[in-house]
Amino acid sequence: MPADAMSARVSLHAGPGAGFDAPFEMLAACHDRIERMLALLERLADHLAETGCDAEARQAAHDVMRYFDLAGPAHHEDEERHVLAALAATGDPALRALADRLHDDHRAMARRWPAVRAALHEVAEGRWPAGDADVLAPWPAFVALQRAHLEAEERIAFPAARRLVDADSERAMGREMAQRRGAPPAD
C-alpha cells in the first residue's frame, strides 16, 4: 500500500460536521466518521500485510481505537435514547422490529469490538505478529456489521425517527446529547 493511502487518515480532533442544534445531522455526520474509520481499518489490514507494523500502521491503529472506544459508544447511546426509543414507542410493528434489530446490532458490535481492539492495540504498541492472519479474522465481520447497520439507520431509522420528533423534542435531544458529553448546549 502506498504511504499516501495510510496518511489519508482522519483527524479525530475535528468535529463531526454538525452541531447539537441539529442532532439528526450530527448523527449522520458521525456515520461519515464511522465509515472513514472502517475504511482506515481495511487499509490498515492491507498495509500490515504489505508493509508491516510501521509508524503509519501504529498511528492508524491508535486512531481507530480512539474512535471506537470513545465516540462510538456515545453515538450508540444517542441512537438508543433518541432514535430507537422513538421507533420502539410507535405502534408500527415494522418500526418496532427495526428498533429491536438495531439495538441487537449495537450489542453485537460491542461484543465484536474487543477482538478487533486487541489486535489494534498490538499494532499500536508495535507488537504486530507478522504473518498471523488469524488475528485479523474478526475485522471483516466487524466492518460488515457496522456498514449494514449504518445503511439501515440512514435509509429507514433516521428518516422515520425524524418524522416522529417535533421541533421541541429535537432541541431537547440536542441539549441532552451535549450535556452527556459535557459540551455547551446549543442556543
Query: Domains of the chain: which residue ranges?
Result: 19-181
Question: Tens of pLDDT along the chain (187 residues)?
Answer: 444 444 433 333 334 457 888 999 999 999 999 999 999 999 999 999 898 899 999 999 999 999 999 999 999 999 999 999 999 999 899 999 999 999 999 999 999 999 999 999 999 999 887 667 688 889 999 999 999 999 999 999 999 999 999 999 999 999 999 888 887 766 5
Contact 42, 119 (CB under 8 A): no
CA torsion through residues 168, 185, 176, 29, sign: positive
CB atoms inside a 10 Å sphere around CB 121: 14
First to last CA, the chain: 46
What is the pLDDT, as a whole number, of residue 12? 32
Report the CATH architecture of 19-181: Up-down Bundle (1.20)
Contact 25, 176 (CB under 8 A): no
Report the distance separating Cα 128 and Cα 124, nearest Å. 8
If you search the block for the grid coordinates 479525530, which residue do you land on? 12
If you search the block for the grid coordinates 438508543, which residue do you land on? 80
Residue 99, CA distances (Å) to 80, 83, 166 in order: 9, 8, 19
What is the pLDDT, as a whole number, of residue 2? 43
